[in-house]
Amino acid sequence: MELALGVDSRFVLSADDQRALAQEAVALGYASLWTPVGNTREPFDVCATWTGSSGLPTGIAVAALSAWSIEDLATLSKETADRCRGRFTLGVGAGRLADAPIRIMRDAIAELRARLRGLPIYLGALGPQMLHLAGQRYDGAALNWCSTEQVEWSRQRVEAGARAGGRDPADVTIHEYIRVCVDEDELSARIAFAKMVMTYALARPGADKTKGYRAHFARMGFDKALTELESRRASGASEDELARIFPVTLLRRVGYWGRPEGAREAFLRLAEGLDIAVVRLVPARRNDLAAVRLAMRACAPKR
């Protein structure tokens, strides 16, 4: 299993900061660097900066096709791969596309492969059909917010898809962001981490709870707790109030929050069954380079 590092724009970092963290990531033994992308090119530029300063492979996980056209995404990805000397991986997902997302992502990989020959392409996948498609046609499955049991459940479906496509399951990489919020103030870390979970797990008012991340968290046994939180939110509870009452036992199943001591051990437990486990950093009281260093050192492959 490879340990990688994931940093996003919630951390306010200069270009010099980005180069410094990439160089330190090499020294700490991280195998690659990853960032998500919204609808701008900035994360692609960050990937090029990271590789240019450290030599590490970099990747995007994931670019949502609800925010990008295939043509624009392919053009920018090819440019980034060239800047990274080929050491670049693109992750794509359906995002907010609600109409036939499986068909869209099945068609997408054919179009992307035609434009990005030789570039590894992962599929952001949560549910059984998307996981099956990842195994059948993509180079990897990019998981998110999984318990160890959910990782195993996901791998089984990816492997079944690979076999159905006449592929060796070992050729399909299982990748996951595992979020960690490291801070000397445990309460601040817990609140920040809970808010991050809720961003994904709570259904928007009126949304279908049987789809997307809400369904994903329900499959892991969170449904009762999320329903209670959604009810409290509808009654006027604030985000801070909801974060404070989010069940700690559930939070521990999908990530780590707390002091640096114990972060690496908890991360490695959650990483069982993965091929690439990404230490995805969540800011608490600070979002500067010092906060990045505290967390990346706490979870470092080399001790």
What contacts 122, CB < 8 A, 6 or more positions away?
A: 59, 61, 62, 89, 90, 91, 92, 134, 138, 139, 140, 141, 142, 173, 175
Both tokens of residue 270? 């959650």
**82 lies in the same domain as 217:** no
Residue 100, domain member (yes or no): yes
Parent domain of 129? 2-184+259-298
**214 lies in the same domain as 271:** no
Residue 97, domain member (yes or no): yes
Residue 289, domain member (yes or no): yes
The pLDDT of residue 126 is 96
**248 lies in the same domain as 288:** no
191-242: per-residue pLDDT in tens? Answer: 999 999 999 999 999 999 999 999 999 999 999 999 999 999 999 999 999 9
pTM of the complete model: 0.96
Residue 76, domain member (yes or no): yes
**33 lies in the same domain as 51:** yes
The pLDDT of residue 270 is 97
**50 lies in the same domain as 27:** yes
Residue 70, domain member (yes or no): yes
106-127: per-residue pLDDT in tens? Answer: 999 999 999 999 999 999 999 9
The pLDDT of residue 303 is 61
**227 lies in the same domain as 123:** no
**149 lies in the same domain as 287:** yes
**144 lies in the same domain as 198:** no
Residue 51, domain member (yes or no): yes
Residue 303, domain member (yes or no): no
If one counts the domains in the chain, the total is 2
Is residue 219 within 8 A of residue 151, CB to CB? The reply is no
**134 lies in the same domain as 227:** no
**244 lies in the same domain as 134:** no
**154 lies in the same domain as 98:** yes
Mean pLDDT by groups of 10 residues along the chain of 303 residues: 97 98 98 95 97 98 95 97 97 92 97 96 97 98 97 98 98 98 97 97 94 95 96 96 95 97 96 98 97 97 77
Residue of 246, 231, 126, 182 whose CA lies nearest to 11: 182
Residue 286 belongs to domain with CATH number: 3.20.20.30
Interatomic CA distance for residues 276 and 91, integer angstroms: 13
Half-sphere exposure of 186 (CA within 13 A, CB side): 8
Residue 15, domain member (yes or no): yes
**76 lies in the same domain as 223:** no
